[in-house]
Chains A and B, each alone.
Chain A
Amino acid sequence: MLKRFLWLRGAEIFAWLLLAVVPLWVSNAYALGLLTLLAIYGILLIGLDVSVGYLGQVNLGHAAFLGLGAYAAGLCVTLLGWGMAGALAMSVLVGLLFGGLLALPALRLAGPQFALATLSFSALTTTVLNEWEALTGGAQGLSLARPPLFGANLTAHGFYWLCLVLLGLVWWVMRNLLASQWGRAFEALRDSPIACDAMGVGTYCHKVAGFAFGSALGGLAGGLYAFNFQYLQPQSFTYELMVILLLGVVLGGRKSLWGAFFGACLIVLLPNLLSNRLLFEMIAAAGLLIAVIAGARAYRHKTQQIFQSLAPIFAMGLLVIGGLLVENTENWRKAIFALMLFSVVVGLPDGVMGFVAKFLVRSLGIVPARIEPAARLDAVLSQPVSDAKPLLELKNLRRYFGGVKAVDDISLTVRTGQVHGLIGPNGSGKSTLVNVVSGLYAPTGGEMLLQGVALPMGSLLKVSHAGVARTFQNLQLFGELSAIDNVMVALKDVYRTPLGLLLLGLAAADERVAQAEAMAFLALVGLQDEARSLAKDLTYGAQRRLEIARALARKPALLILDEPAAGLAKPDVQTLIVLIRTIQARGITIVLIEHHMDVVSELCDVVTVLDGGKIIAEGSPEYVKRDSKVIKAYLGVVQEEFAEPLSGKELPAC
């Protein structure tokens, strides 16, 4: 415990102290210039890592925020005569504002479309900075003098320390943010935006906020950039810089402050690395060695495909051989960068620092932080109410896809405290119905009431806030998060610290409560010993149960379980039945979609049978099983040997 703290914080404090005192024993302006740039790029890359690492989006617009921040600061000084503090505040504000403006439309997109939107924004920014000559001086650039900070003129050393302090501040704030619910949400929405919305974490607003925050850091870096170079030109902030920044983050390691810092070191020092031939050869050889070792190990443990092992070796080999043949390595700078990156992206997806961190954790035997003991379930979930009043009422609900009437005029009532089964052959409209109720699809028509109040339509998030939680037929876990984090993301009524205090690291109490509650839910589903395992590493049955625990963390009035037993082995099915009973006993109403007839028979108070988007039968499990329409729907023509109640075995579902 202490060891962990010492290593983690110790490394940081050591790095800061070192960076702070270096200028004292070297008074070389060039070295100081490099260090200043290192601090500035550090801030910039930490900002970029928010979108590229945590949000998992390829952001090609960060250079534009650097430029906007730089020009904002520059213009504050030249036009308005502001001091440094005011100008820097303005550059942060400009980054935040434009980041938000871009994110609002762009973050509804994903993948290539998002990358292209940011790329366009970046190009547009350069064009405007270049064309608005009256304001920015256009291509001729903007010269400015470094303004005083609170009345004091900063020397080169002073300015460096200012940059360093700001980097430290950003680092600290970022660490607090990432250790909080926000950080978990960022990571969760990368794995499954749909589940995020369904768990009450607004994917969109978190994305926009995260992107705007990252852009604000870009703006801050821009302000410092302006005061460092004291001369700005629009073409400094183009695609070429962007690629280098992106590569810095990826090479250093995404989702890591140290990674961003390492990336900044690399960007700043790269020209020096390449100009020294011997150093370059050494780095290339070291790279090849790492690629061979990592590749061989991965091959032996079969953790990756052969391609992932061979491609980096090939690329680094090319680098070593090329280094021997090529006359001037500086001319090949981009190719060298590309080869190194290719190896890292393919072979070390966590980047250099991710790799180093894992290695250090293993070799130093650093244990993870302690988890709070589980809270009492009674304290977490409210007391049972089973008055059998209508909880969910659907009236004439319809959902059409073009001409297909997937849900066709369905009216049904789910009563409080009951387990309400929903069955029907494939394509009967169960999933669509659940998707409409949970807000994934907007209904074509009809009404939905929860406890007599209209249920929001077409928004997973709003439905979730209204008190409905669900699981998914095809698991939608946050695979890269641990089991406990999966639950903590969804927890309701725990996170109360306002963002401002949270950034200052004052949300530890919330975190402790959250951990305890999450452990209670994990214990309920029998996963308390797997709290630290990544969701993707759990067994299939455990994953199913984890989804239920996560949904329970919403403390819902209505829980929708979408085929929770699908694909489970017999003993797991039994565990599940016990679990669902326990949940019901807690007063949570459940809608259960299921193919296992024995599960349905054993658990459900009421069963509704759908076929072709319509209700064909409703009643107790026993009653429904005997209904001829139901049997016909499942088996087509009623034949002699099947003309008996369906029981015991799984209903055929292709």
Chain B
Amino acid sequence: MNTQIIAQMVVSGALMGLVYALIAYGFQLTYATSKSINFGQGELVMLSAFFSLTLLNFGAPYWLMIIGGLLFGAALGLVVERAAVRLALQQKSEGWILLSIILGLLGFSAAENIWGRDDRPFPTPISADALHVFGINITPLEISVAIGVFAVMGLVELFKRKTLLGKAFEAVSADRDAAELMGISATRTIMLSYGLSGMVAAMAGILIAPITTVGPTMASALILKAFAVAVVAGLDSGFGVVLIGIFLGALESLTSFYVGSGWREAPGLILLILALALRPNGVFGKAAIVKV
């Protein structure tokens, strides 16, 4: 009985952890090119989910909704880049932190007023009835989330490695100045990374919405953990986020089972502070050399 419970906790925690990892992956994309992340990423997840829900309500088929949602997410990502990030990067300031928080606030308020403050169910063709595998309850919906997370990350990685645009992306990530000398526009590449990041956020929203329901606050709890995962793994750790995401998700479940459900949030937060104190570049991150 006991091992079964632990297994169940680990599995369901790890599945949530994969979603944290996916959002954290979105942070990595923009950090790689511009050393900035969107603090309003949670609002991107939420707005894309709302938009997709609206598409469904207008009778769009499921596949069209996904495409529409992804495009919407990418568009929002571009807006964030243009309005919040570009200027600050040019001025070499950290103004983007504040500006992206502000844009997030605007998005939140808009969602509250356009779609209402209530949480709404998100229809899905995938069943939410549990299957029993080795005594563990798992729903096809959850499995679809896991598949979706890996599919998105795999596709983006494939894009980065196999296409010309993707190679430009890698070049700017590796050495921005050198890439610019080779004629690659860093600004365009940063735009691309924000677009991709927005798309990843939208996918996270579409994947998680059938489980969490859609509402203005749907991503506020998720995002804090995605931050934790991104930072603990390292903002340039690549697939490190998957491992840390799974670990953190499972740890959360086990904490709330053994310590008390009120302490559920604590391990992620403590891990984040500890990781920053002990390994500021993350468990899988690389240390940078200061130059003057």
Contact = CB atoms under 8 A, between A and B. Distances in A.
B292 A194 contact: yes
Interface in A76-112: 105-106, 108-112
B289 A116 contact: no
A342 B109 CA distance: 14
Interface in B240-280: 260, 262-263, 265-266, 268-270, 272-273, 276-277, 280
B105 A334 contact: yes
Given A119-B224, A334-B105, A342-B102, A105 B273 contact: yes
Nearest to A314: B83
B39 A311 contact: no
B108 interface: yes
Given A113-B231, A305-B87, A440-B290, A331 B269 contact: no
Contact of B272 (A120, A239, A349): A120
Contacts of B35: 111
Given A131-B262, A346-B87, A401-B289, A112 B37 contact: yes
Given A308-B87, A345-B99, A109 B265 contact: no
A345 B224 contact: no
A117 B228 CA distance: 9
B75 interface: no
A105 B113 CA distance: 40
Provide the main secondary structure of the chain A interface. helix
Size category of the A interface is 35 or more
B128 interface: no
B112 interface: yes
Given A120-B272, A308-B87, A476-B292, A56 B94 contact: yes
A339 B292 contact: no
A131 B260 contact: yes
Contact of B273 (A121, A239, A326, A431): A121
Contacts of A116: 227-228, 231, 272, 276
Contact of B102 (A117, A341, A349): A341
Given A105-B276, A117-B276, A345-B102, A440 B266 contact: no
Nearest to B94: A111
Given A332-B109, A345-B95, A243 B101 contact: yes
B265 A342 contact: no
Size category of the B interface is 35 or more
Nearest to B274: A105
Contacts of A113: 231, 276, 280
B152 interface: no
Interface stretch (A38-46, A122-130, A203-211): A122-130
Nearest to A311: B83
A48 interface: no
B260 A246 contact: no
Contact of B98 (A119, A331, A345): A345
B71 interface: no
Contacts of B98: 58, 246, 250, 345
A333 interface: yes
A349 B87 CA distance: 12
Contacts of A335: 105-106, 109-110, 113
Interface of B: 35-37, 39, 83, 86-87, 90, 94-95, 97-99, 101-103, 105-106, 108-110, 112-113, 220, 224, 227-228, 231, 235, 260, 262-263, 265-266, 268-270, 272-273, 276-277, 280, 289-290, 292
7 contacts: A109-B276, A112-B39, A119-B224, A124-B265, A332-B109, A335-B106, A336-B109
Given A111-B35, A121-B273, 6 more contacts: A117-B272, A119-B227, A123-B224, A124-B273, A326-B113, A334-B109
